[in-house]
Structure formats: structure tokens, C-alpha cells
């Protein structure tokens, strides 16, 4: 089956050469969601990715499996379960089911708890 590849003139890497080039994460202001950005080398064959978020105790609090992404720049949201336990470690591993795997990439960060909501006071009359 053929599919459209744009004429982008990019040098596409073989599975053995495909790597994660950038892994970053930015917590949302609510303290319970995380924007994850992953960039990979442009690839000839679409890889698989496993992304795991661990708290300071090493407990898994979120994970995602990405099967054959269409592009090499990904952005997605992960939800942080449980109470906040800083610092957090995000780990992403790129692999091919029947082929090579690259070394996992990690990114460590802190999540600030959300600001408490102000309680409304009854009007004094």
C-alpha cells in the first residue's frame, strides 16, 4: 500500500538511526495535566513510543502508548493521578516491534500545586 509523502526533501532515517531528539514537558496551571512535546528524527518507517510519568517515589502516575505516529513532532496531554509528589520524571522510549530500540530519553520537572480558590464571603448588610 502506498501513501502520500510530501516533497519535503528531508533526509529520513532508517529504523536503526531513528531517535528521539527532544523531550519536554510543561505542567498546566491546574497542577494535574501535563503538556508533553516529543520530536524525533524524520523516519522512513513509523516507530512506536512508550511514555511513562513517574513521581518522586518511582510510582507510575500516567502512561501513553503511541503506535506508528504520522509525524515526527508530537504534542499531547497527560493527566497526573493522585496527590502531587515532586519531582516528576517523564521517560520516552522509541522502538520498533520487530526491530531496533533506542535508549530511553528522560525529562525531570516539578509541578506547582494550583492556587487555592478564594471563598466568597457573605455580604454584610
Domain that holds residue 38: 20-109
Whether residue 96 lies inside any domain: the answer is: yes
Question: How many domains does the chain fold into?
Answer: 1
Whether residue 44 lies inside any domain: the answer is: yes
Whether residue 2 lies inside any domain: the answer is: no
The string of pLDDT tens digits covering residues 67-116 is 999 999 999 999 999 999 999 999 999 999 999 999 999 999 999 988 78
Mean pLDDT of 58-75: 97
What percent of the chain clears pLDDT 90, i.e. is strictly above it? 80
Helices then strands, each counted (H, E), the chain: 0, 7
The CATH number for 92's domain is 2.60.40.2550
Asked if the model's pLDDT at residue 1 lies above 50, the reply is no
Mean pLDDT of 14-30: 96
pLDDT of residue 108: 98
pLDDT band for position 23 (50/70/90)? very high
Whether residue 114 lies inside any domain: the answer is: no
Whether residue 100 lies inside any domain: the answer is: yes
Phi/psi region, residue 96 (left: phi>0; alpha: psi -120 to 50; beta: rest), is beta
Whether residue 121 lies inside any domain: the answer is: no
Amino acid at each position: 500500500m502506498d501513501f502520500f509523502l510530501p516533497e519535503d526533501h528531508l533526509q529520513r532515517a532508517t529504523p536503526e538511526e531513528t531517535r528521539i531528539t527532544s523531550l519536554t514537558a510543561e505542567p498546566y496551571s491546574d497542577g494535574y495535566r501535563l503538556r508533553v512535546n516529543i520530536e524525533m528524527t524524520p523516519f522512513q518507517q513509523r516507530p512506536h513510543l512508550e511514555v511513562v510519568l513517574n513521581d518522586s517515589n518511582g510510582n507510575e502516575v500516567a502512561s501513553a502508548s503511541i503506535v506508528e505516529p504520522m509525524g515526527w513532532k508530537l504534542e499531547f496531554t497527560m493527566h497526573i493521578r493522585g496527590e502531587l509528589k515532586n519531582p516528576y520524571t517523564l521517560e520516552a522510549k522509541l522502538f520498533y516491534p520487530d526491530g531496533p530500540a533506542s535508549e530511553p530519553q528522560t525529562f525531570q520537572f516539578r509541578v506547582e500545586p494550583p492556587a487555592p480558590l478564594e471563598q466568597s464571603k457573605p455580604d454584610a448588610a
